[in-house]
Chains A and B, each alone.
Chain A
Amino acid sequence: MLRIDNLHATVGGKEILKGLSLTLNPGEVHAIMGPNGAGKSTLGYVLGGRPGYEVTGGTVTFRGQDLLALDPHERAATGLFLGFQYPVEIPGVSFVQFLREALNAQRRTRGEESLSGGEFLKLARAKAGLLKLDMEMLKRPVNVGFSGGEKKRAEMVQMGILDPALAILDETDSGLDIDALRVVGEGINAIMRQQDGGPDKAVLLITHYQRLLDYVKPDFVHVLAGGRIVKSGGPELALQLEAEGYEAVAA
């Protein structure tokens, strides 16, 4: 699904990713943990193609394509979803309008028919229901006036509507209350776990805590420190990190 090989990237002239390699196969859930400033969000932005995040070395292959050769919106249409650590507010543009444009743009890029207004609203209502987000909130401007937790839930509603092949979720668990954490965890499973006969999907969870991993059980856990993956293991690695800290485990 995703193969990152020896990725180097700079932000504002400073090298942040320093030879990062990681492979995700279809059907797998990976978690990345690591100290503040390690480069976790940078990895997400580089994969998403954010302007200002410059790749200086390495390769990324996504579903058989050279991901780095695609424009950001083409990456999304190819099936990449980036859940933001800090979702962006867009005054004057409603969620409904935003997501309908997004979904139909993706469908057009893939040579599929656009959804009608009615079809889209039905889909949006179903996904909002899944994440227990009031449909009325989707009539408001994108993220404007949403609480931190509501923004994260809205990110997952977006993921449900766009139905990506790979989701990179940057601290989607931060800012969530206990009930919302469960709703979001179950939502990720419902959207991204392979259904019978459905397409293969993969998830990369960026998180600081075990709590989300209790719901979305990872197959692999990696430690990102100093711009590269310094240790990988199974789900037990997350527990060990939580108990002992990065210094002890990954130093």
Chain B
Amino acid sequence: MNQVLALPTTHDEAWRYADPAALAALDAGELDQWRDITLAPGEATCRVLVLDDASPGVQRLRLTLAQGARGAMFAIASASAYTRLEVEVRLARGAHFEFGGVTVGGGEATREFVTRVIHAEPEATSNQVVRSVHWGRATGNFLGAVHVARDAQKTDAAQNFRAILLEKGASANAKPELEIFADDVKCAHGAAIGALDDTAGFYMAARGIPPEVARRLLVRAFIADAFVALEDEAQRDDLLEQAVARLEGSRL
């Protein structure tokens, strides 16, 4: 275990959409830091993370949920340099993991969420919603792996990713990955990448709403999906405001 820590490259599956130049600049020692959060049976937690210019780079979190525990995490990745949040979750019987993430921004940066949710025991559930809004030459990614162990019957795991690209040079990638070793499970995933809805834009204009206001309303509604499961209304509104505020500087 004394080997020199190697930096990841885009040849590694879990890093395939990362920015190679940004990876080369990472500090391998720092990279291997995991923050651990462990919940006791029946315990609940809700974490909110804003990865802006105060905390770019790679953040790694490991969540261990005991029986019936509920872990929720809501995040915005909006820094102007490479930003990556990795979350590894282990769910015991009847536990629930909720994730809502928004990547937003322009420039050249790649911003990504990488989750690995391990349904280790039966009857655990997980729900992940990621929304990406990008312009310039920016990229937003969601790499979500779901692992269902052999005995984890009645697993219910859902993932949903949607991206809106406001300009031609922007891009988004979804990489769902399912490893299922039980037979009585429900795993749903969906991904869609597109532009803003022109038809809605014209309908709004026909009612007198200027294009920049229309786009802002549409993007806000789009982003809000990621935070619906955040129960604290004040926190939810605050997070939504922070995400929408990042649109300043786009052509919105």
Contacts and interface: CB of A to CB of B under 8 A. Distances in A.
B204 interface: yes
Interface residues of B, number: 22
A158 interface: yes
Contacts of A87: 203
A90 B224 CA distance: 13
A84 B213 contact: no
Interface string B209-223: 111010001101110
Interface stretch (B38-46, B80-88, B184-192, B194-202): B194-202
A77 B220 CA distance: 24
A231 interface: no
A162 B202 contact: no
Contact of A93 (B202, B210, B217): B217
Report the contact-size class of chain A (Cβ under 8 Å from the partner): 20 to 34
A102 B200 contact: no
A105 interface: yes
Contacts of B205: 48-49, 71-73, 76
B199 A73 contact: no
B151 interface: no
B218 A73 contact: no
Interface string A78-107: 000110100111111100011101110110
A88 B199 contact: yes
Nearest to A107: B208
A50 B202 contact: yes
A12 interface: no
Contacts of A72: 202, 205-206
B98 interface: no
A98 B207 contact: yes
B131 to A, nearest CB: 11
Nearest to A104: B208
> Which one of A72, A82, A91, A98 has the greatest number of beta carbons of chain B within 10 Å?
A72
A81 B220 CA distance: 26
B206 A97 contact: no
B230 to A, nearest CB: 15
Name, among B204, B218, B221, B222, the residue most crowded by chain A CB atoms within 10 Å (CB to CB).
B204
A65 interface: no
A92 B208 contact: no
Nearest to A161: B207
A92 B222 contact: yes
Nearest to A91: B221
Contact of A51 (B200, B202, B207, B217): B202
Interface in A192-230: none
A240 interface: no
B19 interface: no
Contacts of A84: 203, 206
Nearest to A89: B200
B217 A162 contact: no
B207 A92 contact: no
Contacts of A23: none
A92 B225 contact: yes
A92 B221 CA distance: 5
B208 A102 contact: yes
B204 A102 contact: yes
Interface in B99-120: none
A241 B159 CA distance: 56
Contact of A73 (B210, B217, B224, B225): B210
A102 B209 contact: yes
A172 to B, nearest CB: 14
A56 interface: no
Contacts of A142: 203
Contacts of B197: 90
Given A88-B203, A90-B203, A162-B208, A101 B217 contact: yes
Interface of A: 48-51, 71-73, 75-77, 81-82, 84, 87-93, 97-99, 101-103, 105-106, 109, 141-142, 158, 162
Interface of B: 197-200, 202-211, 213, 217-218, 220-222, 224-225
Report, nearest first, the 5 A-B pairs whose CB atoms are least far apart: A92-B221, A76-B208, A72-B205, A106-B208, A102-B207
Given A73-B211, A89-B200, A162-B208, 8 more contacts: A48-B206, A73-B210, A75-B206, A77-B208, A87-B203, A90-B197, A98-B207, A141-B221
18 contacts: A49-B205, A71-B205, A72-B202, A76-B208, A77-B208, A84-B206, A88-B200, A89-B200, A90-B197, A90-B200, A90-B204, A91-B221, A92-B225, A98-B204, A98-B217, A101-B209, A106-B208, A141-B221
